[in-house]
Amino acid sequence: MNTTRPRRIAGLSLIEVMIALLIGSLLVLGLVQVFSASRTAYQLSEGMSRTQENARFAMDYLQRDIRMAGHYGCVNDQSHLQTPGSLVTHFGATPAFGLDFGVSIQGYDASATAPAATVNLGSEAAGWSPALPAVITNLGPRPGSDILVLRYLYSEGAPVTGISGTGDQITVPAGRWDALTAGGVANPVLFGVADCSYADIFPGTVPGAGTVSLSAGFGLARRYTAQPAGQTVLYRAESLVYYIGNGASGEPALFRARFNGAAYTTEELVEGIENLQLLFGRDRVVDLTAQPPSGYIDNLNPASALPNTANDWRRVGMVEVGLLARSPNPAAAADPTAASRVQSLGVTFAPPADTRYRAGYEASVALRNRLYGN
């Protein structure tokens, strides 16, 4: 008789399998949570880095050009305008907007963006105060953002070595010509020649490096040739507009438009800049035609609060700049509550629930060419 005992089958019970599945699920869930938290932290860090980087570049562009407002050679525009006839713009009694070099700085305040206002991003109010000229409207600025206009002579120039007998051609050392094409302007068309007494701004052509021919009908006085060698300098004249527009990628961006004598040509500078706010500090002296500026800035207002006259813009000696920058990609959890709002120069921005990181940046910029005594 066969008395062999049956073999027991080894394996896992249903309860053991279920416990194993539960433990495995918990481990996988933990890994997913760790991965998700790491991804969120990475997106936030990247969004913050991109936002800070873009804002730094944008503020650098603005600060550099704002500081140049009022530069008209050896002395500033205030000094020239206080001496009748020492600043000649050669563009007629009513020059085109881009050629009004008698006004070095002016701004346009976006509707409903005064300090203490709240702006709902994505549904900003249309319009500016004062009303935009057609040449700026044609640039397509985004509503809800201020606009800045600057006119001045570029920081670098070339010493004048000769002026023709009729004053219609200027020569400078060919080796110094790059001073007139710096900053990415290969073919300048607006120029200024200045010494410590006079400044003339005019359109011109360049027949060759080292020579500028004034456009037909224009001519300089002989007064410059009597100055000491090296004191008369030829500059590139700059007429710029800073505004926020829609960039090539569809993102909002800081734009700079340069007037070429007939129209503005635009260049996208920095993407991700969603809003620009400006406040203008004016000298306490109201009528600069009667007395020089005091050097004390005690009026700080948006452009909409200024009378928008040439004399009033001459009082501006400082500009406060506020930028709102956003990340190019989603970078944070959606938070449509007040906790997600950002401020810039007293304006509160209420963002949509698009999960982008946003931050405000501010700077006060002195117009060094309008500091008292310069």
Dump the DSSP string for 109-153: EETT-STT-EEETTSPPP-EESPPPHHHHTT-PPTTS-EEEEEEE
pLDDT at residue number 317 = 93
Report whether the peptide linkage leading into residue 188 is cis, meaning its omega lies within 30 degrees of zero.
no
Domain assignment of residue 265, yes or no:
yes
Q: In what order do the strands lie in the sheet with 356-366?
A: 297-301, 273-283, 316-330, 356-366
pTM above 0.85, yes or no: yes
Domain assignment of residue 27, yes or no:
no
Domain assignment of residue 347, yes or no:
yes
pLDDT at residue number 288 = 82
Domain assignment of residue 42, yes or no:
no
The domain of 225 spans: 48-370
Helix (H) or strand (E) segment spanning residue 319: strand 316-330
Number of domains in the chain: 1
Torsions phi, psi for 50 (to 5 deg): -65, -40
The CA-based angle 347-243-270, given to 5 degrees, is: 95
Domain assignment of residue 361, yes or no:
yes
Give per-10-residue mean pLDDT for the chain (374 aa). 59 76 81 70 73 94 96 88 85 89 95 94 94 96 97 94 87 92 90 91 89 86 70 94 95 96 93 96 88 86 93 93 91 59 92 88 93 59
Domain assignment of residue 132, yes or no:
yes
pLDDT at residue number 79 = 84
pLDDT at residue number 337 = 55
Helix (H, G, I), strand (E, B) or coil at 51: helix
Domain assignment of residue 213, yes or no:
yes
Q: Decide: 235 and 153 in contact? Cβ < 8 Å.
A: yes
Domain assignment of residue 25, yes or no:
no
Q: Which one-letter amino acid corresponds to residue 171?
A: T
